[in-house]
Structure 1
Amino acid sequence: MSLDGKVAIVTGSGRGLGLAYAQELARQGAAVVVNDVDANTADEAVASIEAAGGRAVAVVAPVGSTETAKQLVQTAVDTFGRLDILVTNAGVLRDTVLWKMSDEDFDLVIDVHLRGTFTCVRAAATYMRENQIAGRIITIGSPTGQRGNFGQTNYAAAKAGIVGMVRTWALELKKAGITANAVIPVAATAMTATVPYFAAAVEADAKGEPMPAFFRHDLGFGNAADVAGLIAYLASDAAADVTGQAIGVGGDRLQVWSHPEPVVTAYHDGGWSYEALQEEFPGVYQAQSVGEKFPPLPEELQR
């Protein structure tokens, strides 16, 4: 089931993971609206798609505002005649611990990731519903949004919020045949390139060499191309029944994340007073882990 005749928007697709998504969608037959804040980067992305025989056009604008969202949808319709697929990948990082995070650091990350996803999905879903298109909404989450990460209050909030919106949109858009899913990628990026733990994998990828099996298999850590296949699959007719899900992918690993469910349920006649909690909570409580837990690096991969 190819994507021939489909039209996609991929935000933040000038480089990195977003570019890989746009190139794979084009390889499968979709025409693509590329988006970046830098004109040269966007033009180079379009040229790479066209050089491989695909069709693409660029929109140079920062994601977040309603105006940019409408511009992206209008460009898809004006250039290629329709819109079937939206991938909301655009994002920025402003990492620092809670007590040092400024209002500006928080607001910028929330605006691009969370508000940008909302405004773009709203514009795309409105168009799809009005034109009876059973479209595909694919958002990008993160393990940080699922489990938290030191120094990423803003990013964790945005990515967790995106998954929450996806679950809501799956309900709201079901009748229109529009699916909404979140992809949780684990891949070599500019961010992971600075983490010593991933050094051997990042260096191998930069040299065009296979990553060590420990990273690809045990950690589910790969490169951008390892994520792009899932993006294209969720955009296809084959995934028409997949909606409201958070799906992780990286290296050789695929994961379907559970939706939050209670791990303990307890009752106390008359309700849980302060005194009842003091007496009974320790016997009921089961602490849940937070943050990512990585196994020790094999000796041959240590630096």
Structure 2
Amino acid sequence: MDLTGKVAIVTGSGRGLGLAYAKRLAAAGAAVIVNDVDAAVAEQAAEELRAAGGKAVAVAAAVGSSEAAQQLVNAAKDSFGRLDVLVANAGVLRDKVLWKMTDEDFDTVIGVHLRGTFTTARAAVVAMKEQGEGGRLILIGSPAGQYGNFGQTNYAAAKAGIIGFTKVWAMELSRDKITVNAVVPVAATAMTATVPFLKPYVEALEAGEPLPQFARRELAFGTPEDVAGLVAFLASDAAADVTGQAIGVGGDRLSLYAHTDQIVKEYSEGGWSEDEIAAIWPTAFAPHLQSVGEKLPTPPEK
């Protein structure tokens, strides 16, 4: 995949998934703005890209504010003359059950994930529209935003909101040939290391051990590098007709998520009373109630 001449911003790319995205984009020829809240981490990541023959500039900024978003866009234009791709990846976790979650826990996660995606996308789109040559918004979602996840009120809400962004912006930006897609990754990172079910697989990778087929296929769980190919594809000309989609990737699995739809429809002349709803619910609706939380398969016995 040749991305020569393209310029990409990857937020939260000092380490983990963001760094894997930045490395893959740079390896394909794109110039990359590497971003992290820690200046030393951002510069070290950028130096890794440059040492491998890529073009990269580090920008230390806490994603969320309009000022930080403009700083990133300005860096792309000042350093490389243009902007073609935004990968909105920056994120934090503040996991707690609802009754223990503080305002700060909620606002911090929403501020980075949801507001940060909004502000960076808005600034990027202004630059892309001025260029008049199209562009790519690649927004990073999560299975938590698709299914919900215990203890993640803030994170799940933010990631579900990012899917909403994807659909709206795909419509709004179609005439400008700016595609908008959400990537829903699963990979070994500092975040997934906190999930008890996944922790043994993260530890296996850290120890240099290969993951079992169950993890890579049934759980779609692998390394950050396993996810990066999808980001490079969506950044490329090959994905010019792909927009408004939520695409899952991890381990050996690539998947396409369905849009939410109404699965049962019944009608009552003049509208529905509570008694009428109670009467029809057990037969028409109860058999189709949807589950909450991701239903993970049971590991095979050793």
Counterpart residue number, 2:7: 7
Counterpart residue number, 1:209: 209
How many percent identity over aligned positions?
65
Q: Does the aligned pair in 2 maintain the 1:65–1:119 contact within 8 Å?
A: yes
Report SS of the residue matched to 2:215: helix
Counterpart residue number, 1:273: 273
Counterpart residue number, 2:282: 282
Report SS of the residue matched to 1:9: strand
Counterpart residue number, 1:47: 47
Deviation at 1:68, TM superposition (A): 0.5
TM-score normalised by L of structure 1? 0.97
Counterpart residue number, 2:166: 166
Cα-to-partner distance string for 1:53-106 (whole Å, 9 max, x where unaligned)? 001001101000000000100100000010000000001100000000001100
Cα-to-partner distance string for 1:13-46 (whole Å, 9 max, x where unaligned)? 0000000000000000000000001111111101
Report SS of the residue matched to 1:137: strand
Counterpart residue number, 1:138: 138
C-alpha RMSD of the superposition: 0.9
Deviation at 1:209, TM superposition (A): 3.0
Counterpart residue number, 1:298: 300
Report SS of the residue matched to 2:247: strand
Structure 1 spans left out of the alignment, 5+ residues: none
Counterpart residue number, 1:91: 91
Q: Tell me, in whole angstroms, the C-alpha distance in 1 between the residues paired with 2:15 and 2:58.
A: 13
Counterpart residue number, 1:254: 254
Q: Which runs of 4+ in 1 moved over 6 A?
A: none
Q: Higher mean Cα deviation, 178-187 or 288-297?
A: 288-297
Q: Tell me, in whole angstroms, the C-alpha distance in 1 between the residues paired with 2:225 and 2:44.
A: 18
Deviation at 1:298, TM superposition (A): 1.8
Deviation at 1:170, TM superposition (A): 0.2
Counterpart residue number, 2:104: 104
Report SS of the residue matched to 2:197: helix
Report SS of the residue matched to 1:116: helix
Report SS of the residue matched to 1:299: coil
Kindly provide the amino acid, as one letter, of the partner of residue 114 in structure 1. L
Q: Tell me, in whole angstroms, the C-alpha distance in 1 between the residues paired with 2:49 and 2:27.
A: 8
Q: Tell me, in whole angstroms, the C-alpha distance in 2 between the residues paired with 1:46 and 1:170.
A: 30
Counterpart residue number, 2:230: 230
Q: Tell me, in whole angstroms, the C-alpha distance in 2 between the residues paired with 1:243 and 1:106.
A: 30
Deviation at 1:284, TM superposition (A): 1.5
Deviation at 1:167, TM superposition (A): 0.3
Deviation at 1:196, TM superposition (A): 3.4
Report SS of the residue matched to 1:228: helix
Q: Higher mean Cα deviation, 58-67 or 279-288?
A: 279-288
Q: Does the aligned pair in 2 maintain the 1:197–1:297 contact within 8 Å?
A: no
Structure-to-structure mapping, 1:107-186, within 5 angstroms: 107-186=107-186
Report SS of the residue matched to 1:254: strand
Cα-to-partner distance string for 1:164-211 (whole Å, 9 max, x where unaligned)? 011000000000000000000011111222333224421231133321
Q: Tell me, in whole angstroms, the C-alpha distance in 1 between the residues paired with 2:195 and 2:281.
A: 39
Kindly provide the amino acid, as one letter, of the partner of residue 120 in structure 1. T
Cα-to-partner distance string for 1:85-139 (whole Å, 9 max, x where unaligned)? 0000001100000000001100010000000000000000111111102100000
Q: Tell me, in whole angstroms, the C-alpha distance in 2 between the residues paired with 1:293 and 1:237.
A: 35
Q: Tell me, in whole angstroms, the C-alpha distance in 1 between the residues paired with 2:93 and 2:71.
A: 24
Q: Tell me, in whole angstroms, the C-alpha distance in 1 between the residues paired with 2:199 and 2:273.
A: 51
Kindly provide the amino acid, as one letter, of the partner of residue 177 in structure 1. K
Counterpart residue number, 2:221: 221
Report SS of the residue matched to 1:56: strand
Structure-to-structure mapping, 1:20-99, within 5 angstroms: 20-99=20-99
Report SS of the residue matched to 1:248: strand
Deviation at 1:235, TM superposition (A): 0.2
Report SS of the residue matched to 1:277: helix
Report SS of the residue matched to 2:150: coil
Report SS of the residue matched to 1:160: helix
Kindly provide the amino acid, as one letter, of the partner of residue 299 in structure 1. E
